[in-house]
Amino acid sequence: MFQKYDVIVVGAGHAGCEAAAAAANLGSKVLLITMDMNKIAQMSCNPAMGGIAKGQIVREIDAIGGYSGIVTDYSTIQFRMLNRSKGPAMWSPRAQTDRMVFSSYWRDLLERTPNVDFWQDMVSSILLEGDTVVGVCTSMGQQIKAKSVVLTNGTFLNGIIHIGQKQFGGGRMSEKSSSGITEQLISLGLESGRMKTGTPPRVDGRSLDYSKMEEQKGDENPEKFSYLENNPKYSNETRCCWITYTNQTVHDILKTGFDDSPMYAGRIQGLGPRYCPSIEDKINRFAERDRHQIFVEPEGWNTVEIYVNGFSTSLPDYVQIKALREIPGFESAKIFRPGYAIEYDYFPPTQLELTLETKQIKNLYFAGQINGTTGYEEAACQGLIAGINAHQKVNNKEPFILSRSEAYIGVLIDDLVNKGTEEPYRMFTSRAEYRLMLRQDNADIRLTAKANKLGLASNQRLELVTKKIQGTKEIISHFVKTSVTPSEINPYLEKINTSAIPQNYKLNQIITRPQIEIKDLAENVESINNFLQNYTSEQILQAEILMKYEGYLEKEQLLVEKMNRLENFIISDDFDFHSVKSISLEAREKLNKQRPKTLGQAARISGISPSDVSILMVHLGR
């Protein structure tokens, strides 16, 4: 009934979709197995993509040739560039999306990808020959053969949903959980754990009083995620979001449900996301605060459903409703469904290679929440890397690994594999030591040529990057060579309260002043405006950042080169860490368990000290 596939992808969430698209676009024959064809790329939590550090990941996915940025741009109902008041390393794009359009467009793109087949079923186990995966077995008894398998099971592995004292099996509300895979993998020697996440109630937008809330508009000149030009959009309209706040009355009502809370009663064993806590966790941990922010987010253009961001909860439904109706604007709120917590199995990611292949089972890859992460963006980038590497492996090609200095994706995977995680992992700009180099505006410059060489990023993408780089160089060259006179620029400098110049100054010296941006300079100096007419806003921004932060970028590059020297110390697969008696027993045990490939990788393992690294360097030098 089935042919033998190159790659089988289990699960069609954000990780699964990117994995299937990447492997198929590289030339592999792919089967995407999902329990529900109508839930492909489902936004099971908030209807948004991007955000702090997450927006950088989406742009990196796009630069490599993934689909998440394209789908987000198509379904966007509001766009905002976060952290504009800070430096460019912190700028993070975020888009509110229509979640139904998002899902349907993802399915449309996958159905238009020639090498992708679909099968609606639940995978109950993997098929093995020795220590190598050779396919999957489904709940309908189908045995489907493949050269590699990518597991992207999300929250479905033995998922349990909690609402107050009620608990029942499920991967998402109204969707059954998946069983069999965890038990099989444990029997094969892999370790598993439990994590939990949560979601807020959904309400009827017609029942809310927006006059009691603060309006939150999107950017006047919205940008986009994809570097490609002229991608289609579902609509050019925008929708507003709103902000309101909890109060002491809300908190007091919520506290009455704590005895029935599955988290406080101990019915939930798994740890939840530290940086996206439930509302009951917030009022418990931050008892000194008399209010918490609530974002009121529309789920799409053609629906009245509202996502109550900031009110994630697993308290009894009657407590949720009573507390919600004390929030300004929610006095008459009608609820579509209550919030809930979900507890599920994951596998500590220290059991993976940097390709996301499992160390114990060849050609088996994990991506997404099965690795202990949280968030669509974190899942999608893992799916992309797993899909690429599954294709590379079955075609005997070099693995595709991004370093910490090349991408946030590299930081994420390196953190997971070398440090592991005991709570749902979320990306932040603070996790990246080279974040000034890893900006959202230059992901294409960092990654597209590499992905084009791989065969995933198109020649069209490469041409756009080449033009961007060339234009940027021309602008910088002009600013370095061209002087501006006091009479040309002093009226503008005085207007913005910065020092006038006493003599001719080079333009690149002027642009380093923190108060000055090229676009404002162009509006006030005609010669600059005339020169910049031939350049795009992306080229102008790139040139400005490189000139303003030249010294900082040079320092960061030196740090990268220093770290890369450690990466050049290759550790052989058969190196016996126990033979190095000068390092601690704990370090030897951790190194022997995780088997780092380089000294740099060894240095990032939790519990490995600088002195351990120095001793290893001596041994490897010998």
Residues 176 and 169 sit within 8 Å (Cβ to Cβ):
yes
CA-CA distances (angstroms) from residue 332 to 202, 207, 208, 292, 547?
14, 6, 7, 20, 54
- What are φ and ψ of residue 150, in 5° steps? -115, 120
Q: How far is CA 115 from the centre of its chain?
A: 26
- Decide if 413 is inside a domain: yes
| 136 and 192 belong to one structural domain | yes
| 316 and 402 belong to one structural domain | no
| 547 and 470 belong to one structural domain | yes
Q: State residue 266's pLDDT score.
A: 67
Give the domain-ending residue among 283, 307, 340: 340
Give the domain-ending residue among 323, 340, 357: 340
Distance, in Å, from the CA atom of 3 to the CA atom of 151, rounded to the nearest integer, reads 20
Give the domain-ending residue among 340, 355, 372: 340
Kind and range of the H or E run holding 507: helix 507-511
| 331 and 411 belong to one structural domain | no
Pick the closest to residue 69 from 359, 520, 326, 448 (CA basis): 448
| 219 and 329 belong to one structural domain | yes
Q: State residue 107's pLDDT score.
A: 98
| 41 and 123 belong to one structural domain | yes
Residues 201 and 311 sit within 8 Å (Cβ to Cβ):
yes
Kind and range of the H or E run holding 78: strand 76-82
- Decide if 526 is inside a domain: yes
Beta strands 202-204; 364-366: pairing state = unpaired
**Mean pLDDT of each 10-residue bin along the chain, 622 residues long:** 94 98 98 96 95 97 98 98 93 97 98 97 97 97 97 94 89 86 96 93 98 96 94 93 97 91 71 77 88 96 96 94 97 96 95 97 98 96 98 98 96 94 91 94 98 97 97 96 91 90 92 90 89 94 95 92 83 84 83 85 81 81 62
- Decide if 603 is inside a domain: yes
Helix/strand/coil percentages in the chain, nearest 5: 40, 20, 40
Q: What is the 3-state secondary structure (H, E, C) of 366-385?
A: ECCHHHCECCHHHHHHHHHH
Residues 339 and 200 sit within 8 Å (Cβ to Cβ):
yes
Q: The CATH number of the domain where 599 resides is what?
A: 1.10.150.570
CA-CA distances (angstroms) from residue 317 to 254, 269, 281, 320, 616?
11, 21, 17, 5, 56
Beta strands 143-151; 5-10: pairing state = parallel
- Decide if 88 is inside a domain: yes
Distance, in Å, from the CA atom of 562 to the CA atom of 567, rounded to the nearest integer, reads 9
Distance, in Å, from the CA atom of 104 to the CA atom of 310, rounded to the nearest integer, reads 27
Residue with tokens 């234009």: 471
| 335 and 348 belong to one structural domain | no
Q: Is 499 exposed, middle or buried (0-12, 13-18, 19+ CB in 10 A)?
A: exposed
Distance, in Å, from the CA atom of 527 to the CA atom of 529, rounded to the nearest integer, reads 5
Which pairs count as long-range contacts for 116-119, CB under 8 Å and 24+ apart, including other chains? 116/20, 116/21, 116/24, 116/30, 116/31, 116/32, 117/5, 117/29, 117/30, 117/31, 117/32, 118/31, 118/32, 118/33, 118/34, 118/37, 119/2, 119/31, 119/32, 119/33, 119/34, 119/144
Q: The CATH number of the domain where 293 resides is what?
A: 2.40.30.260
Distance, in Å, from the CA atom of 362 to the CA atom of 455, rounded to the nearest integer, reads 24
- Decide if 558 is inside a domain: no
Residues 447 and 13 sit within 8 Å (Cβ to Cβ):
no
What contacts 561, CB < 8 A, 6 or more positions away?
Answer: none
| 71 and 179 belong to one structural domain | yes
What contacts 6, CB < 8 A, 6 or more positions away?
Answer: 23, 28, 29, 30, 146, 147, 148, 390, 391, 394, 395
| 321 and 467 belong to one structural domain | no
Q: The CATH number of the domain where 386 resides is what?
A: 3.50.50.60
Pick the closest to residue 273 from 183, 155, 398 (CA basis): 155
Q: The CATH number of the domain where 501 resides is what?
A: 1.10.10.1800
Handedness of CA 255, 260, 266, 271 (dihedral sign): negative
Residues 380 and 11 sit within 8 Å (Cβ to Cβ):
no
| 411 and 305 belong to one structural domain | no
- Decide if 556 is inside a domain: no
How many CB atoms within 10 Å of residue 239?
A: 17
| 242 and 325 belong to one structural domain | yes
How many domains does the structure of the chain reveal?
4
Radius of gyration, CA atoms only, the chain: 26
- Decide if 561 is inside a domain: no
What's the token pair of residue 299?
Answer: 């789920």
Residues 554 and 590 sit within 8 Å (Cβ to Cβ):
no
Q: State residue 609's pLDDT score.
A: 79
Distance, in Å, from the CA atom of 292 to the CA atom of 527, rounded to the nearest integer, reads 50
Helix 459-481 to helix 443-454 angle, to the nearest 10 degrees?
140
Distance, in Å, from the CA atom of 323 to the CA atom of 224, rounded to the nearest integer, reads 37
Residues 596 and 571 sit within 8 Å (Cβ to Cβ):
yes
Handedness of CA 42, 48, 49, 51 (dihedral sign): negative
Residue 158 gets which letter from DSSP? T
Residues 8 and 33 sit within 8 Å (Cβ to Cβ):
yes
CA-CA distances (angstroms) from residue 138 to 144, 174, 535?
8, 21, 55
Q: What is the 3-state secondary structure (H, E, C) of 83-123?
A: CCCCCCCCCEEEEEECHHHHHHHHHHHHHCCCCEEEEECCE
- Sequential DSSP letters for 564-582: HHHHTSBPPTT--GGG-TT
Query: Half-sphere exposure of residue 107, counting CA atoms within 13 Å on the CB side?
Result: 16
Distance, in Å, from the CA atom of 205 to the CA atom of 389, rounded to the nearest integer, reads 44
pTM, rounded to two decimals: 0.94
Instruction: Provide the residue range defining the domain that includes 507.
Output: 459-551
Residue with tokens 């690795």: 371
| 494 and 617 belong to one structural domain | no
